[in-house]
Structure 1
């Protein structure tokens, strides 16, 4: 196994990361377009039952949690793209050893070898 990814592989992973970035940004945007009262307004003609309000609150909290996860994922993608630009992509930040292409295929934002995560 070589210590550096080929230019073709780097271009492949860069394109994959750019696509992931677009998808993640779209998820964040779609969450932001749903205001906290959107679902409640649909029920404006009906009495708001406490269970409906509880469901709405749960959905808002879930969406907020998902947005945080997507924001973290977006930052990981940006970091991986920066590593491609600075030439450190595919090299473990902890050990300096090459990250197997198979791992990068499954997790293109990987910055460490399996077992170095903790």
Structure 2
């Protein structure tokens, strides 16, 4: 993820694509769907809370973690859009082309999927 974000910043610094602030409703609803998918592990909160030693601090830690994850994913999406503008594709590695960085990122993603 960090490699793609750095690559996005490098691409954005070379050329500045035209950016629109908002799309139509279908794009907004698609973004909401992706955001919901990102937090698919939310079902683990109640079991985690019941196993927590100090349950009073759990809400604070959970809030900080969710804010951090939202910041990381939001930054990832924003940098991808800033780098490629309206030509941003759904799968961000296809925007990077067939260069070595893209191939290494895709291989890294394949290796992490085996562990899931």
User: Shared fold (TM-score greater than 0.5)?
Assistant: no
The structure with more helix, counted as a fraction of residues: 2
Between structure 1 and structure 2, the one with the greater Rg is: 1
